[in-house]
Amino acid sequence: MVIISSMPSRISSGGMSSTINPFGPQWPKATEGAKEARPVGDQVEEALFGKRKPPVLDEDDFPEVTEILALLDKYRKKFAVMVGDQEKDYRLQLADGTLAMIDGHGTIFIGVRFLLKFQKNPSVLIGALAHEVGHRPHRWAEYKTKKDLNREEINELCRFEETRADLFAGRAMAEVNISPEPMIQFLEEIEEGPHPDYFPAKMRADVIREGYNEQKSKVNNRKKMWPELDRATAARLHLGDF
């Protein structure tokens, strides 16, 4: 497996004593420690969100998805506030050749074929959207620790990130009163996760259901004990800590 942070090995100078290569860049010596460790946040962001972005499409060319995109945009705003960010921290971008993915700037690419396949069953799309928002990519800039992570450490952080995102997806769906089961079924059908080395669909299903059930009981308690508050918060969906 390729270690993404590995440096090119020093090119032999062919017996020349000078370390200056007149025909190319000056490679750092292996012993020089020339490469400074990078912030952990950067490395995880690269692993999670640094994948090649899918080709973007112009919404005007796809009037058949205008309605479903408008619906998802409403959920985008709700989920942004629920997760503790602002609406403007996320935007939807119609794309090709992807289901859904988010980049480090909060742009959520959503595939046109994914939209068309589930526009009559939008809970799958809404669940995917909640998962992407649950990544909160702006948060990664806060991880300033400088330490080069090995592949296993990066995988471990990615698994943690995915679990967070799934947990949020479950909670968010409970708040908007949408069953997570169609999304879970879809994950089981496609099986391979959005990121390599991630948990199998069965484990993801458990995490999503856990988030959903936990939040569902909070929502039910809120309705029972503070019906006025529930009406007020449900209207704005400003739910404080999540």
Minimal distance, residue 168 CB to Zn ion, in Å: 10
Ramachandran angles phi, psi of 26, nearest 5°: -90, 105
237: left (phi over 0), alpha (psi -120 to 50) or beta: left
DSSP three-state, residue 57: coil
User: β-strands 107-111, 91-95: how paired?
Assistant: parallel
Binding mask 162-201 for Zn ion (x = CB under 5 A): ---x----------------------------x-------
Size of the site for Zn ion (CB under 5 A): 2
Assess contact for 45 and 137: CB atoms under 8 A: yes
CA dist., res. 150 & res. 4, Å (int): 9
Minimum Å distance from CB 169 to Zn ion? Answer: 9
- Distance, in Å, from the CA atom of 231 to the CA atom of 223, rounded to the nearest integer, reads 8
Q: Which is nearer to Zn ion, 83 or 219 (CB)?
A: 83
Interface stretch with Zn ion, choices 17-25, 81-89, 141-149, 158-166 (CB under 5 A):
158-166
Least separation in angstroms between residue 193's CB and Zn ion is 8
User: Shortest distance, CB of residue 195 to Zn ion, whole angstroms?
Assistant: 6
**Nearer of residues 81 and 187 to Zn ion, judged by Cβ:** 187
Binding site for Zn ion (CB under 5 A): 165, 194
